[in-house]
């Protein structure tokens, strides 16, 4: 197996689209070589802990409602082509994602990291749930088989907050400046929501390389 490190944030639309494209390629190639590990990267590390009103924040950042609507249409077009369902009308909060990244970390300790990432993307982009809220996060953890009571207790503490923040800073120090960023075999970098065809090419080239060796 070949390590595939993915730097991502659950509130990043391109991360959701990128994961959907990668999933499609891996589903078509069940013998793919990738061992996936997810790493934290906060798009908005200065976001208030309780999050903000999504519409107001986006309009202030990107120059008004018309500009935001245009951006949503562009993103949704690409998402539909990828098969990544998005329901912008359900989304009211823009959360701080530090606790979501803590959930991904804890899920990883039980071998459920990708399942947690999938649950977070689904909850935010399809269902419009506030993935900065402890109750929502505990519910999502329970949905993938984590101990809900334990997750509630951990979320109420500062457990692993410093580690997640340190890993985020470390990613930036290594040159990760946008997400999604994919690091293949600790050597090759693929940036952005690449289409399944690119991943198919990568899988084919890795298979050819293995055969030649």
Domain ranges across the chain = 2-212
Rounded Cα–Cα distance for residues 110 and 95 (Å): 25
Tens-of-pLDDT digits for all 213 residues of the chain?
Answer: 999 999 999 999 999 999 999 999 999 999 999 999 999 999 999 999 999 999 999 999 999 999 999 999 999 999 999 999 999 999 999 999 999 999 999 999 999 999 999 999 999 999 999 999 999 999 999 999 999 999 999 999 999 999 999 999 999 999 999 999 999 999 999 999 999 999 999 999 998 987 777
Q: Please tell me the predicted confidence (pLDDT) of residue 137.
A: 98
Tokens read off for 122: 């689904």
Q: Please tell me the predicted confidence (pLDDT) of residue 197.
A: 97
Rounded Cα–Cα distance for residues 113 and 72 (Å): 28
Question: Does domain 2-212 sit in CATH 3.40.30.10?
Answer: yes
Axis-axis angle for helices 13-28, 65-82 (nearest 10): 10
Give 52's strand partners: 94
């Amino acid at each position: 197996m070949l390590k595939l490190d993915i730097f991502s944030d659950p509130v990043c639309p391109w991360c959701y689209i990128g994961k959907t494209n990668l999933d499609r390629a891996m589903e078509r190639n069940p013998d793919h070589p990738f061992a996936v590990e997810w790493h934290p990267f906060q798009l908005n590390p200065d976001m208030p802990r309780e999050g903000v009103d999504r519409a107001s924040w986006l309009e202030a950042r990107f120059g008004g409602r018309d500009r935001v609507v245009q951006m949503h249409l562009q993103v949704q077009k690409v998402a539909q082509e990828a098969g990544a369902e998005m329901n912008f009308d359900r989304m009211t909060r823009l959360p701080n994602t530090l606790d979501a990244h803590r959930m991904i970390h804890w899920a990883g300790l039980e071998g459920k990291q990708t399942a947690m990432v999938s649950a977070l993307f689904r909850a935010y982009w399809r269902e419009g749930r506030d993935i900065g809220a402890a109750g929502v996060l505990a519910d999502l953890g329970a949905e993938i088989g984590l101990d809900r009571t334990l997750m509630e207790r951990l979320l109420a503490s500062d457990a692993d907050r410093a580690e997640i923040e340190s890993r985020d800073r470390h990613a930036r120090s290594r040159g990760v400046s946008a997400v999604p960023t994919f690091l293949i075999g600790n050597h090759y970098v693929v940036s952005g929501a690449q289409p399944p065809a690119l991943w198919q090419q990568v899988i084919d080239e890795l298979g050819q390389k293995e055969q030649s060796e």
